[in-house]
Structure 1
């Protein structure tokens, strides 16, 4: 068999570097005047900038105090606490039976922990290099579900609060805390002096005033012209929506005595 010479042709690719350079950071000496040691030079500058920002923030807090609402009043039973707007979705979720009561750990720790843990681990849970949402259905679906759920629960919490307490503030000066609903009291008689049986009820005076002149609750100086003793005792026992709670007085004899006195106010 005759031997035939074969020519080999080599094709070069300009994209492939002929010289292999190891991936090692260059020395400081290669860039004189452009680099510095982390400790203490760089870190000291960072601390100085942080100190200036901190002093500026402290000056701002002193010169412009936070606009707070009324001081806490333990006798104000009409106050409805409401978290800031960015926690409303968690607040609403705890109203459902599967996330409250015996399952409160599920609603306060497990579900939020899974949600925020998945958010932190997202770069490792979804390693796809696709940029189009349609090509990443799992990640896109989970993110849309979280967004829709958060927006819906926030709206539901605000909507329910507005229906139950139309006169209270939602998102007032305190960043979304519900303010106390102040009922407009009827004109009070400044010469009226309440009996000792009324002044012994600090929880009642907190809303209706020392002399029953009204405040956060209505004026009761002539409550007897509207309710009799039995009806007043029932209100004390069971409350009266939307702001009057029941069970504030436990002693039956005290309730009867107070109801009879209030029924006499015509």
Structure 2
């Protein structure tokens, strides 16, 4: 008999009774402080998820993803740029000790050391204190990581030529015919490495928007100009003339292929 707790019955005197609190107490013992999982709790979760989903869908409709033109492996002048959360690594690869002959160190070894430090963090800092200033190892690693990420991300975004980046990835439409024999047999193997597969520019200028005359194109291809080499020893006069006529006909169009007004 226990006072205030009623009477406890034991069916077999050989069974040992343990005096300890119940681990899983029924929620009915706490009226007003709990709720049933179905339907109360799940209904609130679904309502919250629906609000966030609708908000996210509205955001994607109002601000579509910024798409660039189709990837062109022949465009050697294109400078790829990672998303903002990888800008720090993009910036690190620009430094002397992480680029050129040290590219393997910057791209693999250095990030590997950083991730290994995160994996080993529980063993590197075994302190049981919860205050950050009483855990110097973990706090120091965190502050150093945040400082490096912040500085390299800021430096990469601050000194990057964003106008050039936007221009080189801009989606343009033209009357370029990639099935034309002039393109497949001559231009693709001689011009696209500098001017891009769409001839909209890369290391070389944009040929679609240049509005060149056949005679001018023929002179450029024959004699070269600036960094552009001469092709008079590579292409025949007839081939150069075909390229000139092909390039001179290039013009910008809309999505439906109609020429844009100049």
Q: What TM-score does the superposition give when structure 1 sets the normalisation length?
A: 0.50
Is the counterpart of residue 66 in structure 1 residue 64 in structure 2?
A: yes
2:200 is aligned to: 206
Q: Following the alignment from structure 2 to structure 1, what is the Cα–Cα distance between the partners of residues 46 and 217?
A: 67
Partner of 1:125: 125
Misfit runs of 4+, over 6 Å: none
Hey, what's the Cα distance between the residues in 2 that align with 1:211 and 1:53? 44
CA distance in 2, matches of 1:35, 1:130: 30
> Aligned-pair distance for 1:54?
1.6
2:188 is the alignment partner of 1:180: no
RMSD between aligned residues? 4.8
8 Å contact from structure 1 (residues 92, 153) kept in 2 = yes
- Does residue 169 in structure 1 map to residue 163 in structure 2? yes
| Runs of at least 5 residues in structure 2 that lack an aligned partner in the other structure | 1-18, 170-181, 245-262
List gaps (5 residues or longer) in structure 1. Answer: 1-19, 171-177, 183-195, 215-219, 238-248
Tell me if structure 2 keeps the 8 A contact 1:89–1:157: yes
Instruction: Tell me the secondary structure at the aligned position of residue 253 of structure 1.
Output: coil
Residue 105 of structure 1 pairs with residue 73 of structure 2:
no
Alignment partner, residue 9 of structure 1: none
Output the CA distance in 2 between the equivalents of 1:21 and 1:78.
Answer: 74
What is the Cα deviation at residue 152 of structure 1? 3.2
Deviation, structure 1 residue 42? 1.5
Check 1:34–1:61 CA distance in 2 against 1; reply closer, same or farther (3 A cut): same
Report if the CA contact (8 A) 2:87-2:152 is conserved: yes
Q: Residues of 2 paired with 1:43 and 1:73: CA distance?
A: 45
- Aligned partner of 2:31 in structure 1 is 32
Q: Which secondary structure state, in structure 1, belongs to the residue aligned with residue 166 of structure 2?
A: coil
Q: Deviations over 1:42-92 (max 9, x none)?
A: 224312331343234224423x14262553362655432212333111222
Change (3 A) 1:254 1:155: farther
CA deviation after TM superposition for structure 1 residue 146, in Å: 1.4
State how many pairs are aligned.
192
Q: Does 1:253 align with 2:240?
A: no
Cα separation, 2, equivalents of 1:112 and 1:60: 34
Alignment partners' CA distance in 1, 2:236 and 2:80: 28
Three-state SS of the structure 2 residue aligned to 1:80 is: coil
1:43-54 correspondence runs (5 A)? 43-54=42-53
Distance 1:43 1:70 in 2: 41
Q: Is the CA contact (8 Å cut-off) linking 1:78 and 1:180 kept in structure 2?
A: no
Query: TM-score w.r.t. structure 2 length?
Result: 0.51
Report what 1:186 is aligned to.
none
Q: Give the drift of 1:253.
A: 1.9
Q: Indicate if the aligned counterparts of 1:79 and 1:180 stay in contact, CA closer than 8 A.
A: no
Corresponding position: 1:138 with 2:137: yes
Q: Work out whether residues 89 and 154 of structure 1, in 8 Å CA contact, stay in contact via their aligned partners in 2.
A: yes
2:7 is aligned to none
d(CA) in 2 for partners of 1:127, 1:37: 39
Aligned mates of 1:255, 1:92 — CA distance in 2: 45
- Alpha-carbon contact 1:83-1:91 (below 8 Å) kept: yes
Conserved in 2, the CA contact under 8 Å of 1:36 and 1:42?
Answer: yes
Q: For 2:130 and 2:50, how far apart are their aligned partners in 1?
A: 43
